[in-house]
Structure formats: structure tokens, C-alpha cells
Amino acid sequence: MDNNGNKCRICLIRDMAGKEDILSYINKTRDMLTDEDRVSNLVYEERLKKCTSCDNLLSATCMKCGCYVEIRALAQNNHCPLKKRKW
Ligand code: SF4
């Protein structure tokens, strides 16, 4: 619960305990992408910041596309699925 009594929506996998297998998958995905296809760390963190403040995020998953945002946000060609994209 946060200070306002809201239940935690568990924003990112990296904030969860016992999810090392998924974290390993994220790292493998990052390694598989070429420098051209992968966003910079700065852009990646900016994307995740927008996701963690989005109402469509639940348990590290975007409820609009069903993706783990930490994986979707890695690739240059991936975008937020909303009509008015957040990234
Ligand atoms: S990808 Fe877009 S819609 Fe999905 S959680 Fe992130 S900001 Fe929200």
C-alpha cells in the first residue's frame, strides 16, 4: 500500500522478488538487439518512467498490449500502443 492507501500495482519486474528468470530474459533480449535496434539507457528509463505512471500498467504488464514493458521498451521500433503514444 502506498501513503494514500492504494494497493501497489507492482510496476516493474525489477522491483519484484523471485523473478530472476524474467530478468534474465530481459537481459538476453537486450543482448540480442543490435546497437541500432536497441534504445539508449536514457531513452529506456524515460519510457519506463512513463509506463510506471500510466494507469494501464499492472504487474509489470501493459494492459493495452499484454507485453512486459521492460521488454517492449528495449527496442527502437516498439512504441506505446495507445493512439496518443506516451513513447
Ligand atoms: S506502453 Fe503505453 S499504455 Fe502501456 S503501460 Fe506503457 S505508457 Fe501505458
Q: Mind listing the pLDDT tens digit of every residue in the chain (87 residues)?
A: 556 676 777 689 888 878 888 889 899 999 999 999 999 999 999 999 999 999 999 989 999 999 999 999 999 999 999 999 999
Residue nearest to atom 7 of ligand 1 (CA): 51
Cα–Cα distances in Å, from 52 out to 15, 44, 60, 80, 81? 11, 12, 8, 13, 15
The pTM of this model reads 0.87
31 sits in which H/E element: helix 20-32
Site to substitute for ligand 1 among 54, 78, 85, most atoms within 8 A of C-beta: 54
Q: Pocket around ligand 1: residues whose beta carbon is below 6 Å from it?
A: 50-51, 54, 56-57, 62, 64, 69, 80-82, 86
Ligand 1 atom closest to the Cα of residue 54 is 8
Beta bridge partners of residue 57, listed in sequence order: 62
| 53 CA distance to ligand 1 middle (Å) | 9
Beta bridge partners of residue 41, listed in sequence order: none
**Burial (CB count within 10 angstroms: exposed 0-12, middle 13-18, buried 19+), residue 11:** buried
DSSP, collapsed to helix, strand or coil, labels residue 14 as helix
